[in-house]
Amino acid sequence: MTYPGFPLDDSWIHQVFARNIAGGHGFSFNPGIPIAGATAPLWTLLLVPMWLLFGPITGGIALGMITQWLAILAVYKLTERLTEDKSLSFLASILSALCWPVIWGALSGMEIGLYSALSLWGLYFCLKSNSPDDRYSYLSYFLFTLAFLARPECGIFLAAAFIHDFYVWIKSGYKKNIHWLFKLFMIAAITLPYFIFNFKTSGTFFPRTFGFKVQDQGLLASIFEINPKGIIKALTILPLHYFKLFLYSLFRLNPLLFCAIFAGIVRILKWAPGSFSKRLSLILIIVLYIPILGSVAPAASPDYQNYRYITNLLPLFIILAVAGFLFPLKKKISRVFLYSGSILISLMLLVKIILVFFGDYIIGITVQEPANINADYLKNVDEFVMGIAIDFTLILLFYIIAGSILSTRLWSRMVNRVLFRTIVIILLILFSAGSVLLQSPLYATNVRNVNERNVEAAILLRTLANEGDIVAVNDAGAIGYFSGMEIIDLKGIISPEITLEMVKDDSMAFEYMSRSERVDYLAIVPDWFDYIPLRTDIFKEIASLTTEKNLIVYGDTTKIYKAYWIEDE
């Protein structure tokens, strides 16, 4: 559909950083100006030798393929550890490799394969360790810490490992504690440079990407602002909403595998080999990871940009589904689904009853603005919360029915027959392979969207601009890589001079440009701004770029403006 490139503008942001590091300009976007503008600094650093050896596109895609391949190997080892069945391990690996968001992520030029490999291998060594002070435990902490530097959400795995080890430590009667010091020292040695760099360049311990994308939403922002309503909302409504969206997106991704996840959870908990506490911890991580994200960083839905933030979770759900379909039963466990499902549905019904009688009061103290829940279609918030309860009830009913069928003696006998088992495996593989074929044009379309909007805008600016000219943008990646111009990012991610207040009110950003740094060009999506596009006395449109069937770049059109500043402005 287009010439080679990446399906996200953010991929080019990493390439700009990698090029500047390779050129001796430090961790900077505009050369020589250090900035914590990369959420995945480990990925950026690994890109540097790839950029030197192969260039941006080949280097970025090759590194993504290598790291995603390592993640697939981790799926095999994890499944083998949980089931002691090599055939199931091979099937889980094949289905993970045929999961189209995994392939999209491997070819995206982003850190998706890296954080997937690090977090999945960390889980494997965590399951393999026999005590908190053996070498496998240390290795799991090391990998989880690196995963945090590849994707900050992976800190959830590190926290979960700490909680599990603390439980084991308490249970052992405080026999050994020196390993805590070693682990804390290791984590600090790896992460302190990251936190110090963030603080020195952005004034917070987090990269600018976190603060400027999450903004005032989520648990951390509410805690820092001492906002009780925001805290309650972040601990209740937001994670439930996020989890509901995830379940729907998981069903769309693969309905066949979706049917067997609940059965897989029960079978892993009851029949998988190894420590029960570790198996329980693994299931809790898988189940709670999404609600925790919804609580801390609810700015985007779970399937945002083709699951780029949660791709490492998809193989874990595939492992559960494979176990639910094919992991051999040791006895009838249908009652487990009946009892657990009945309890969960009763809880959902209780939520509905409470909302009927006390909904207005509860909503009044927990929610301020429905728009912050990322659900513009809602008429009012109490309908939204009631909808969550109804949706979860329907999902649980589905899971109980599917889990009960997969846990019958009849299903177990049929699956143990070679022919039926083969048919099930072939159907699972064919469905996954078919999804890849159907979704492959999506990747090409995404690349074309970025090329026809951002790359072409950069090439045009390169032909128009003079040396030393400055351009203000809302997508900094491709324009920063190809234009050769100094960049002011009006979304604040790579420009320390742009504050969060300016991002929320672009008239303040205009005042800053007018007063302190008058740009020569604008390359923006006008829909992102309320004030700047209205200043037609200053900014004269010289080009308009659109792309057919836009699926990844915000807005329909990128416009380029030449700035003609009034002297007394």
Check residue 170 and give its pLDDT: 82
Asked if residue 179 is part of any domain, the answer here is: yes
Residues 238 and 326 in one domain: yes
- Structural domain count of the chain: 3
Residue 25 lies inside a defined structural domain of this protein: no
User: Are 132 and 85 contained in the same domain?
Assistant: yes
> CA of 54: how far to CAs of 41, 59, 458, in Å?
20, 5, 22
C-alpha–C-alpha distance, residues 253 and 436, integer Å? 11
d(CA 525, CA 492): 15
Any domain includes 20: no
- Give the SS3 label for residue 488: strand
Please, what is the Cα angle at 224 between 218 and 228, to 5 degrees? 70
Quick one: pLDDT band at residue 374, thresholds 50, 70, 90? very low
Q: In 3-state terms, what secondary structure has residue 524?
A: strand
Pairing between strand 521-524 and 486-489?
Answer: unpaired
Range of 68's domain? 36-204
Question: Do residue 273 and residue 395 come from a single domain?
Answer: yes
Q: Please say if the pLDDT value at position 375 is more than 70.
A: no
Does 234 reside within a domain?
A: yes
Same domain, residue pair 84 and 173? yes
Domain boundary among 173, 204, 235: 204
Q: What is the DSSP annotation of 13-55?
A: HHHHHHHHHHTT--SBSSTT-B----S-HHHHHHHHHHHHHH-
Q: Which of 320, 413, 398 is nearest to 95 (CA)?
A: 320
Domain check: are 452 and 403 in the same one?
Answer: no
Which of 204, 232, 261 is the endpoint of a domain?
Answer: 204
Which residue type occupies 376?
A: D
255 and 165 in one domain? no
Locate 99 and state its tokens.
């999961």
pLDDT in tens, 267-305: 888 888 888 888 999 999 998 999 998 888 777 788 889
Quick check: is 373 in a domain?
A: yes
Distances (CA, A) of 252 to 249, 258, 310: 5, 9, 15
- Residue 180: the pLDDT is 86
| 450, part of any domain | yes
φ, ψ for residue 475, nearest 5 deg: -120, 110
Residue 170: exposed, middle, or buried by beta-carbon count in 10 A (0-12, 13-18, 19+)? exposed
Q: Report whether pLDDT(382) > 70.
A: no
410-443 residue pLDDT tens: 787 888 888 988 999 999 999 999 999 999 999 9
Instruction: Give every strand in the sheet of 470-473, ordered side by side.
Output: 486-489, 470-473, 521-524, 557-563, 539-546
Give Dmax (Cα) for the chain: 84
Q: Are residues 117 and 94 in the same domain?
A: yes
- Are 219 and 200 part of one and the same domain? no
Asked whether residue 152 falls in the same domain as residue 186, the answer is: yes
Q: Are 294 and 247 in contact (CB under 8 A)?
A: no
Considering the domain architecture, whether residues 253 and 182 belong to the same structural domain is answered as no
Domain boundary, last residue among 140, 171, 204: 204
Do 295 and 346 lie in one domain? The reply is yes
Residue 399 domain-assigned (yes or no): yes
Closest CA to 548 of 445, 458, 432: 445
Q: Is residue 26 part of a domain?
A: no
- Say whether 489 sits in a helix, a strand or coil: strand
pLDDT tens digits along 150-202: 999 999 999 999 998 888 888 876 666 778 889 999 999 999 999 999 888 88
Instruction: Judge if 228 and 189 occupy the same domain.
Output: no
Amino acid symbol at 8: L
